[in-house]
Amino acid sequence: MTGDSPARVQEPGIADDATVAGELPPVTSSDTGFTPLIFEIPAISRRQFLAGGLAAGIGMVCGAGLVRVLGVVPVPPDGSPAVAGDPRWQFVVDTRACIGCGLCVLACKEENDVPLEAAFARTWVERHAVLADGSVRVDSPEGGIEGFPSQIEGIDAKTVRESFFEPRLCMQCHDSPCTVVCPVGATYKTSDGVVLVDSERCIGCGYCVVACPYGARYIIPAGDRLPGGKPGVADKCTLCYHRITRGQLPACVEVCPTGARAFGDLADSTSPMHERIKGAVALHPEYGTRPAVLYQGPIIDGTELA
Amino acid sequence: MSHDAEHVAEPPIADSGPTGLEPQDPIVRATEWQKPLRRALALAAIAAAGALAVVVVALALAATTPEYGFRPNADSRGWALHPLVLAPRAGCVRCHAHQVALLDANAHATTSCQGCHGAGTDHENAPRPGDVDMAIPASAICVRCHSSSVGRPVTVPQITISRHYTEACLDCHNPHTAVATRPPVVTHPLEHLPACIVCHGPDGFQARNQRHPLEPTDDAACLRCHAVGRGRIDVPVGPR
């Protein structure tokens, strides 16, 4: 072999018989005893075929399990138990204390760069009035960002039997419909219980917007104010995740002049929230979403109305 | 399949004894017992190949298209890194402890500095006068809470703006002390005198409160606030 040209050295032994490089020698199973290029497909029975298919299927299922165990492709952590040591954020709204100043709405828009129009709100304030005839009127001019006019439009104040303000925001549900319906897994729940939207992953289909029974979501319109950094994706209250993870209160809680909005960490045994949540109830518990945001005082479904 | 395996998988151990089922030829016998084992091995190999294929595809996807992986940890970190807009209250107290102390001593103690003055992080980062000044709130801030309104708890002091002295709240009210400086009342007779503005106007006496508007106006407008019964020096003097 040493005397051969370099090109020949590269050739495998069997190619020595080839007359022209690149041309395969005629080989048959009868003269060599094996077939290097053509495999004879063994005849298998239907039973063998099905058994092989079943084995391959079982193997693939096991492979998928292995992928999950190895964490090759992470899965959305919704429903996973809270990580030990993580905070347990608790938000409580007291409708008896709310005076409808709307500073919370303003602060939220300012803090999170939320578009100023009422249709795009992470939080808003509603005014509920029970009239003398028992009917309920709700108004929320511009989401309450400028506060409230003294009268409900078209309603004589004398006919109002009872009225109160109800601040609204994302309920951070334990069983959140928005997370379930998201077709691309863009909405997820953090280990400390906050439902967030990955705006890089969101495709803006809007399914979550219609799935949320509390109306807490919207699609970010094109413009200068982009909470998640880009338009055309879903957005909602993050509990001011950048504030609470720095030990600050959410912006709406920070500016609330009456303590109608309260926030704390239930994992902290010294937190005053342990006292605050006593008697607090979920808004629309019949939706079955197990909201983490709780309410005190009269609320929308009327169960606490006198 | 399994029925087959059970049936043929008789191990060729000595104690099985010479039975009618045992093949006479030892070579044939060996092949017979190895057949189900080989079959099982082949199926195991197929299963392993299937599992391997799934793992390889998943690894390839994860390596080449990371944006298609669920990445809650990376994303929630992103949300957590957003900059603060409302500054921590401690930042206000550092320079404005006097005002905060005043505030904390009255009914406005629960209000936040930035609720009225606006977000303060920019000011905190550039606090020298003229850099980024905080807003001095307009009266619109006051009436957010203190205008009489359907739904507002009666525990909050409320005014009907049209019946109040003026819409310039801060002319009389100090929001940090929650105390109103009531307007001085007219303590001299009003009969046989020219219009108020002649003596008290821009060319006459200066109002002590320099923020007070001094545009030419009629007596009725002046007396709306400075009439007896509304002022600080509330002694009934002279005819009204």
| Tens-digit pLDDT profile for residues B166-190 | 667 887 788 898 887 777 788 888 8
pLDDT level of residue A235 (50, 70, 90 thresholds): very high
Q: Can you give the pLDDT at residue B236?
A: 47
CB atoms within 10 A of CB B162: 8
Helix (H, G, I), strand (E, B) or coil at A66: helix
pLDDT of residue B112: 93
B145 closest CA partner among A296, A147, A21: A147
Which of A 181-200 lie inside 8 A of B, CB atoms? 185, 188-190, 194, 196, 198, 200
Chain B residues lying within 8 Å of A146, measured CB to CB: 140, 144
CB A90 within 8 A of CB A264: yes
Whole-angstrom Cα Rg for chain A: 32
Task: Compare A286 and B4 and report the one with higher pLDDT.
Answer: A286
Q: How far apart are CA B12 and CA B34, in angstroms?
A: 10
Residue in the structure block whose two tokens are 């009035």: A129
Instruction: Please give the pLDDT value at position B113.
Output: 93
Compute the average pLDDT of residues A121-127.
95
Measure the CA–CA gap between A198 and A228, rounded to whole angstroms: 8
Distance CA A103, CA A146 (A): 8
Residue A109: how many CA atoms within 13 Å on its side-chain side?
Answer: 20
A 10 A CB-CB count for B64 gives: 8
pLDDT of A154-204, one tens digit each? 888 889 998 999 999 999 999 999 999 999 888 988 888 899 999 988 999
Least confident of A84-88, A247-251, B232-236: B232-236
| Averaged pLDDT for residues B69-74 | 60
pLDDT: is B1 or A42 the higher one? A42
Nearest to A177 by CA among A211, A207, A205: A211
Summarize the confidence of residues A267-275 as an average pLDDT: 92
Residues in chain B: 240
pLDDT band at A101 (very low <50, low <70, confident <90, very high): very high
What is the per-residue DSSP string for B88-121? PHHHHHHHHHHHHHHHHTSGGGGS-HHHHH---H
Residue type at B178 in one-letter notation: A
Contacts of B225 (CB under 8 A, 6+ apart): B165, B166, B183, B231
Which range, A186-200, B1-15, B26-40, has the best average confidence (pLDDT)? A186-200
What is the C-alpha to C-alpha distance for residues A229 and A155, in angstroms, rounded to an integer?
Answer: 41
The complex's ipTM? 0.71
Q: Are B205 and B131 in contact (CB under 8 A)?
A: no
Spatial contact of A226 and B106, defined as CB atoms under 8 Å apart = no
CB within 8 Å: A57 and B50: yes
Using CA atoms, how far apart are residues A141 and A125, in angstroms rounded to an integer? 9
Say if residue B43's pLDDT is above 50: yes
* Percentage with pLDDT > 70 across chain B: 69
Instruction: Return the pLDDT at A304.
Output: 45
For residue B86, pLDDT over 80 is answered with yes
A26-59: pLDDT as tens digits: 555 455 555 556 666 777 888 888 999 999 999 9
How close does chain A come to B85, measured CA to CA in Å? 5
Which pLDDT score, from 0 to 100, does residue A1 have?
41
Distance from CA of B155 to the nearest CA of A (A): 9
Those residues with Cβ within 8 angstroms of residue A229's Cβ, 6 or more apart along the chain or in another chain: A199
pLDDT on residue B6: 47
Residue A262: its pLDDT value, please? 96
| A288-302, B26-40, B44-58, B212-226: the lowest-pLDDT one | B26-40
d(CA B35, CA A270): 71
Mean pLDDT, range A147-160, rounded to an integer:
90
Tokens of B90: 């401690």
**A262: which residues sit within 8 A by CB, 6+ positions away?**
A91, A92, A93, A94, A253, A272, A273, A276
**Region A253-263: what's the mean pLDDT?**
95
Q: Per-residue pLDDT tens for B204-220? A: 565 555 556 666 677 88
How far apart are the C-alpha atoms of A39 and B96, rounded to whole Å? 88
Across-strand partners of A125?
A167
Of B108, B119, B150, nearest to A157 by CB-CB distance is: B150
| A-interface mutation test, from B81, B104, B114, B144, most A Cβ less than 10 A away | B144
Which residues of B are less than 8 Å from A194 in CB distance? Answer: 76
Tokens in use for A239?
């509990």
Q: Where are the beta strands (DSSP E) in chain B?
A: 173-174, 179-180
Per-residue confidence (pLDDT) for residue B26, from 0 to 100: 57
- What pLDDT was estimated at residue A66? 87
Residues of A in contact with B50 (CB under 8 A): 55-60, 62-63
CA atoms within 13 A on the CB side of A59: 21
pTM to 2 decimal places? 0.70
Contact B79/A196, CB-based, under 8 Å? yes
How close is the nearest chain B Cα to the Cα of A148, in Å?
7
Q: Is pLDDT larger for residue B152 or for residue B174?
A: B152
Q: What is the pLDDT of residue B239?
A: 44
Of all residues in chain B, the one with the smallest CA distance to A241 is B80
Chain B residues touching residue A201 (CB < 8 angstroms):
67, 70-71, 75
Contact present, A124 and A144 (Cβ < 8 Å): yes
Least CB–CB distance from A47: residue in B1, B69, B80: B1
Q: What is residue A62's predicted lDDT score, i.e. its pLDDT?
A: 93
What is the pLDDT, as a whole number, of residue A251?
Answer: 97
Mean pLDDT to the nearest integer, A272-300: 90
- Measured between alpha carbons, how far is A31 from B27 in angstroms, rounded to an integer? 28
Whether the CB-CB separation of A137 and A129 falls below 8 Å is answered with yes
Residue B130 — pLDDT band, cuts 50, 70, 90? confident
8 A C-beta contact, residue A208 and residue A252: no
In angstroms, the CA B136 to CA B170 distance is 10
Say whether residue A132 is in contact with chain B using an 8 A CB cutoff. no
Is the pLDDT reported for residue A11 higher than 70?
Answer: no
Chain A nearest-CA residue for B71: A74
Residue A79, chain B, CB below 8 Å: the answer is no
Q: Say whether A72 and B147 touch across the interface (CB within 8 A).
A: no
